[in-house]
Homo-oligomer: A and B are copies of this chain.
Amino acid sequence: MPRPARSDQQIKDMRQRLCEAAYELYKAEGYEAVSFRRLAAHLGISHTLPYSYFDNRDELFAAVRLDCYQRFLMAIRGGDPTQLGPVARLYALARVILNYAMENPADYRLMFAMHQPPLARYPELLAIRQAAFDYLVAIVQQGVDAGLIKGEARTVMHMAWAAAHGLMTLHAAGQLVHGHTMDELIEPMLQAIIGPLFGNEPEHQS
């Protein structure tokens, strides 16, 4: 058996290099600008070599999106004040998430853009989204159990997620109707939308 196959590490490295190059190019010049040929040129390899590492362009972007989700999930976990009560935690996490979206609009667009191959085709993407969602649902459930939050945890979380998602999406797409910046909107949003869902009086320690 001559010439051993590339080691897993080599494959992983090249995939990583392609992902990073794609991510940078995407942030710099947008989705359309990212082509295998440009990535290959940038990495100094043949324009068809990427096909040895990703089936096609969609698969490459799925990997880039997975990286985005991982960073997103890390930001959520890292910004979770676990020592606080569930309602205060949810408020804090809402701020973390909204801030993350504001500071990384390109990431947010990539994670949640429409006009993309159906998510159902990428189980690993579904899984990590589900993980992020479940992480939050678990906290809501604690609030429900403690009598601080009314309703079924998953439904409540869905509502809150949709509300936050709407705001972030409008922001990331530059579609906020004039007259408000995100900064002006985040606090009212938390009070008006997240607030009623999670209990109007957060035990916050500002």
Interface pair B188/A197, CB less than 8 Å apart: no
User: B115 and A159: CB pair below 8 A?
Assistant: no
- Does any Cβ of B come within 8 Å of A78's Cβ? no
Stoichiometry, as copies per complex, reads 2
Q: Which residues of B contact A114 (CB under 8 A)?
A: 109, 112-115, 169, 172-173
Interface class of chain A by DSSP: helix
- Stretch in A12-20, A37-45, A177-185 with 4+ CB within 8 Å of B: A177-185
Chain A positions 174 through 206: 1 when the CB is less than 8 Å from some CB of chain B, otherwise 0: 111111100001001100110111000000000
**Cβ–Cβ < 8 Å partners of A4 in chain B:** none
Closest chain B residue to A200, Cβ basis: B196
Of A69-77, A88-96, A149-157, which binds chain B?
A149-157
21 contacts between A and B (CB under 8 A): A31-B115, A112-B175, A113-B173, A114-B114, A114-B115, A114-B169, A118-B174, A119-B174, A129-B177, A130-B177, A155-B188, A156-B192, A158-B185, A159-B188, A159-B192, A159-B193, A162-B185, A165-B166, A165-B169, A165-B170, A193-B196
